[in-house]
Amino acid sequence: MGELFETVAAQPPQDKRRVRVIGIGTGDPGQLSGEAIAALTSVAYVIAADKGGGDPLLDVRRRLCERYGVDLVAVRDPERDRDDPADYPGVVRDWHAARVDAYADVLAECPGDAAFLVWGDPAFYDSTLRVVEDLAARLRLACDVIPGISAPQLLAARHRIVLHGIGQPILVTTGRRLADAVIAGHDNIVVMLDGTLACLELDPDGWQIWWGANLGSDDEVLVAGRLADVADDLLRAREAVKARAGWVMDTYLLRRVEARQVPSGA
């Protein structure tokens, strides 16, 4: 059995230099757990990608570091070749390798434990753990993960709903894959990474939506109802929050109307 299954120690070894991956929630510093604050204040510095152009996510990380008195090392994010969508996996692989190289340089130069602050939770649509795994193998580092509140969790809390019916499954997917998920028969779907409100392509009478944008920020906005009734509200709210905040990130739960379970709180 030992050969088939990798076992992971609950605690990383204390004698190794550590990289700590800390979930910071989706915008509000109040979402940081006690464990996350303890981890953040334990490290010598935070490494953060700088995507340029006044990167708002870098600003969030910078403010957190200032608040807790931790140094931040901003690393210019390597350019991603967006001109060759035909080789998307290859483009992502090269970009990932360039990120690992850039962070390895920082770790080689700056001693002590380091942290990466991950938007939401590292378990949802985030590549930090893949990057850190490569760094840990290359530099013989220990790594641990402190969870954060992810966008779907905050969405559920704000709408006061359970994301699934009793004993029912839930699919978490992207806007690009939504149509396939519906064709495959899923009727309880959380959508992330959707720049175009792909839900508006579905049968508007067939689906109920619970939508939220910029959750956890001052510009947070919620819309809920049958797609047919709220489609215009969604478009308007999305544009308005983008104009007000200068950025928009949204996520939503879709449930087929004929599905028997209705979330509590709806």
Ligand X SMILES: C[S@@+](CC[C@H](N)C(=O)[O-])C[C@H]1O[C@@H](n2cnc3c(N)ncnc32)[C@H](O)[C@@H]1O
Residues that bind ligand X (CB under 6 A): 26-27, 119-121, 124-126, 150-151, 192-193, 212-216, 249-251
User: Comparing C-alpha atoms, which of 233, 262, 263, 264 is closest to residue 250?
Assistant: 233
Where does residue 206 rank: exposed (0-12), middle (13-18), buried (19+ CB within 10 A)?
middle
HSE (side-chain half, CA atoms, 13 Å) at 15: 0
- C-alpha span between 118 and 28 (Å, rounded): 13
Q: What is the dihedral of CA 181, 182, 188, 191, to 10 degrees?
A: 60
Query: By C-beta, is 16 or 62 nearer to ligand X?
Result: 62
Task: Considering the complex, state which of residue 120 and residue 263 has its C-beta at the smaller distance from ligand X.
Answer: 120
Smallest distance from the beta carbon of 174 to ligand X, in angstroms?
8
Best CA proximity match to 259, nearest among 158, 167, 152, 179: 167
Provide the minimum distance between the beta carbon of 84 and ligand X in the complex, in angstroms, as a whole number: 21
Pick 16 or 144: Cβ nearer ligand X: 144
**144-182 exposure pattern, b = at least 16 Cβ within 10 A, e = fewer:** bbbbbbbbbbbbbebbebbbbbeeeeebbbebebbeebb
Q: Strand pairing partners for 213?
A: 221, 250
What is the number of the residue whose Cβ is closest to ligand X?
Answer: 120
Nearer to ligand X, 111 or 195 (CB): 195
Torsion angle (degrees, nearest 10) of CA 193, 194, 195, 199: -170
The smaller minimum CB distance to ligand X, of residues 208 and 214, is found at: 214
CB 191 → ligand X: shortest distance, Å?
7
Show the tokens assigned to 206.
């067939």
Q: Which is nearer to ligand X, 207 or 210 (CB)?
A: 210
Q: Which is nearer to ligand X, 126 or 187 (CB)?
A: 126
Smallest separation (angstroms) from ligand X to the CB of 22:
12
Shortest spacing between CB 24 and ligand X, in angstroms: 10
CB of 203 vs ligand X, minimal distance in Å: 22
Give the residue with the Cβ less far from ligand X, 114 or 248: 248
Q: How far is the CB of 218 from ligand X (least distance, A)?
A: 11
- Helical packing angle, 88-109 and 128-139, nearest 10°: 50
Closest distance of CB 260 from ligand X, Å: 27
| CA torsion, ordered 28, 178, 156, 36, to nearest 10 deg | -40
- What is d(CA 179, CA 167) in angstroms, rounded to the nearest whole number? 24
Residue 209's DSSP bridge partners are 225, 254
